Each structure stands twice: as C-alpha cells, then as structure tokens.
Amino acid sequence: MAALMQKSALTRPAVASNAGRRAVVVRAAADRKLWAPGVVAPDHLKGELAGDYGWDPLGLGADPVALRWYRQSELVHARWAMLGVAGVLVQEVVKPDVYFYEAGLPQNLPEPFTNINMGGLLAWEFILMHWVEVRRWQDYKNFGSVNEDPIFKGNKVPNPEMGYPGGIFDPLGFSKGNLKELQTKEIKNGRLAMIAYMGFVLQAQATGKGPLAALSAHLSNPFGNNILKNIGTCTVPHSVNVQGLEIPLTCLWPGQQ
C-alpha cells in the first residue's frame, strides 16, 4: 500500500506537468490569428511562416519539403504580381489611350524600342530567366550555395533566410527591424496583388478595357456594367500577328471569342 502511494506521489507531478504543457499549447493556439474564428490549423502549419493563418484545406503543405518549395513559389509569384499590378495601373495613368493588353507591342513602345526584334527579346528573356530560376533552385536545394556573385567574386549577400537575400537588395536596412512583421506585410500584399492581377486579366478579356477604365464605366452605370452583364463575353482575338509571328490567344473568361 505504501509503495502504491509512493508511486502515485511520484507520477502526480508528471501528470501536472503534462497538463501544464497542454494549457500552454491551448493558450498559444488561442492567441494565434487564423483565417476564421474557431478553426483549427493543420498540424503542419505551426505559425512559423509569415502570413500563416492555418489555411490549407487540401493538405498540400503536409510534406515539409513541398511546403518549403510552395513558400518560395508563392513569394516569387507575389513579388511579380505586385510589380505587374503597379505597372498596369501606372501605364494606364500615364498613357490612358494605350490598352495594357497591347502595351507591349512594338508600335506602343517608346523610342528607341519601336524597332526591337520581339523574337530576339523573347529569346534573351528565356535565357536570362532560366539562369535566374536555376540559381534560385540551387539555393533551395543547398541554401546559401549561390550567395556569392558568380562574376565578381568576393561580393556576397548575407541571405539570412531563404527568399530574403538582404545586402544590396535591402538598401534601406528594413530587415534590421522587425523582419517577421515586414515579411507578413509583403506576403499579404502579394496575395492581394495576385488576385488583383487575375481580376485585371479577366476584366480586360471580358470588356476590352484596363482596370481604371472599367472601374470608371462601372461607377457611371453600376447596373449596366458589372460582372453579371459580362458573363459570356470575350474580346480577345483568336490570334495576334507580331512582326510576322502569329501568336494564338485564348480567353480565360468563359465566353465566345
């Protein structure tokens, strides 16, 4: 009997300790911001990544290796989308008479680029982007392996975290402050930009107008110019001829070309 009491006394602190740990976990989960009130985040989303609100209904990030790559992919697409959205809006403000879908055609480019060979430009873009993406893949496979400039040896970036090289890419030194907060702001704005850019594209295909022109048309006649009225409409031609090269086009919006 005495032995049983002694064993009970020895195991009681362990039970209390486990209960205490569970309480800490529960409090941490309660303090974490999730995508909806009362939802439970998947086990593989622990809130460590910037912008992690526990949203992964298909479980795509359950594999840690895949999750790491998805984060890098999302980050790159988010940055391109922010540049694209800003470019579309600025172009429409500066040259409202040029439709952003046609802004890249040679005749709409500023001097001295009106006579540029689009095939040669495409080839150079493919080569350079391929080189950059291979370098990014190498950094993903072996983090820090491409920190040094391949041409000017001795020049390196600090690269404290994958996807955030720092150094000359952070001239104002923002990363020296609350980096996690800035990362969260960036990915949130990037996600919004990705949705916005897809909206720009679908809207342009349905109306043949840029985002500001379409917004102006909607505000002038909300009931006549809206998404319901544009369903089934597609202004994109079947193809476009650029310097003798016939490029087929398609419409993402469900409608007839």
| SS3 assignment, position 114 | coil
Q: Is 124 known as a binding-site position?
A: no
Q: Is 74 known as a binding-site position?
A: yes
CB-based contacts of 255: which residues, under 8 Å, 6+ apart? 205, 206, 231, 232, 233, 234
Q: Is 79 known as a binding-site position?
A: yes
Q: Is 138 known as a binding-site position?
A: no
41-50, Cβ contacts within 8 angstroms, sequence gap of 24 or more: 50/180, 50/183, 50/184, 50/186, 50/187
Q: Is 185 known as a binding-site position?
A: yes
Q: How many Cα atoms sit within 13 Å of 18 on the Cβ side?
A: 4
Q: How far apart are CA 226 and CA 65, in angstroms?
A: 43
CB-based contacts of 138: which residues, under 8 Å, 6+ apart? 145, 146
Q: Is 135 known as a binding-site position?
A: no
For residue 226, give both structure tokens.
């809206």
Q: How far apart are CA 67 and CA 44, in angstroms?
A: 9
115 and 227 in contact (C-beta within 8 Å)?
no
Q: Is 161 known as a binding-site position?
A: no
- Helix (H) / strand (E) containing 255: strand 255-256
Q: Is 191 known as a binding-site position?
A: yes
What's CA 186's distance to the chain center, in Å? Answer: 9
Q: Is 68 known as a binding-site position?
A: no
Q: Is 181 known as a binding-site position?
A: no
Binding-site sequence positions for chlorophyll b: 79, 185
Binding-site sequence positions: 55, 74, 77, 79, 185-186, 189, 191, 203, 218
Binding-site sequence positions for chlorophyll a: 55, 74, 77, 186, 189, 191, 203, 218
